[in-house]
Amino acid sequence: MLIARSGTKSNGIQIITDFQDNKTNGHTHQQLKIKGMKRVLVTGANGFIGTNLCKRLLGENLHVRGVVRPGKAILLPKGVEATHVESIGGDTAWGNALEGVHTVIHLAALVHVMKDSASDSFAEYRKVNVQGSEHLALAAAQYGVKRFIFMSSVKVNGEGRSTPYKEADIQEPQDPYGISKSEAERVLHEIADQTGLEVVILRPPLVYGPGVKANFLRLLKVVDRGIPLPLANVNNHKSLIYLENLVDAIVACINHPKAAGQTFFVSDGEDVSTIELIRRMGSALGRPVRMFSFPPFMIRLGGRLLGKSAEVERLLGSLMVDCLNIKRELDWKPPYTMDQGLKETGRWYLKRRNISRKGAKTLI
């Protein structure tokens, strides 16, 4: 068992942290033993990542304060102190939400605008993702918060290429969401330079796990139904990250002295093709996978004709990240393999599907 100890003072509170490689059921987790650290504030606490993160932080015996909209506190894990905000932007009244907080973990973000073609959609992304992050970070610095962990995205670097992205690569975001995240990163670095707030930025690729939605859930449904897919000729590589691996990386960043000022890509540490991912999904669901050959350029053409080019490219293109930095600086490695993550995701999906079917039978 490897242990590293660091001690710092924040607002007169002695903070002592032990980092351990803690093995549970064969998985090595980042474990914190923190004395004197009263509170961690988590925005987006009732979301896909936030819910699981809050549970993990509670398990680390931290006081967790979760930011949710009014009426949503019931969705928080038991033991999380709820803080209500109407919306996140440049004028959010954070008030006492930051009182006594050591670390802010900023997960909340605007990911989709209902009408992306609207002329003011870009302004909406900036309002939440840039101005909201800036306002929260400035308020955090004023309240003496020590560390600010910002959940960014691989999309600040682009939509994919044939080689893995690295943290030092030129940022080339392609859509309003990626651009807003890139601008937020730049603003947060400026605040860190001006105030001494320790900013840590995480850039995950696609996150999957129990509770996943959107394209990953749709693909699970397609595999479960045994629908033949025209993907046998696809040759690409994808980085993904299992939800619990991402949570573990966040925990590693909370108080590790080498995390301050860093930007980290994170993933499962294994890149797979779309074909291989679908095969592993089938294995996790106990379903045979059917694929047939079809020219990828024809699939892309169909996507353009249907106005679905972005969705098709996410399926056919390559998008990889290099995680060497976080492994080297924080000695972090994902505690779960991709197969283990997919197995847990498959178990959740099948349970969800079976409950839905039972409900449908009851209504008949």
Q: Are 188 and 134 in contact (CB under 8 A)?
A: yes
Burial of 185-200, coded b for 16+ CB within 10 Å and e otherwise, reads bebbeebbeebebbbb
Closest CA relative to residue 97, chosen from 136, 58, 154: 136
| Residue 238 DSSP label | B
User: Which residue, chain included where needed, has tokens 């032990």?
Assistant: 18
Positive or negative torsion for Cα 328, 334, 335, 337: negative
Strand residue runs (E) in 107-246: 147-151, 198-203, 206-208, 240-242
- Percent helix, strand, coil in the chain, to 5, is 40, 20, 35
Residues 271, 238: Cα–Cα separation, whole Å? 5
Q: Are 188 and 150 in contact (CB under 8 A)?
A: yes
Beta strands in the chain (DSSP E): 3-10, 13-24, 27-35, 39-43, 63-68, 81-84, 101-106, 147-151, 198-203, 206-208, 240-242, 263-265
Distance CA 305, CA 301 (A): 6
Which of 125, 143, 165, 177 is flagged as catalytic? 177
177 an active-site residue?
yes
Residues serving a catalytic function are: 177
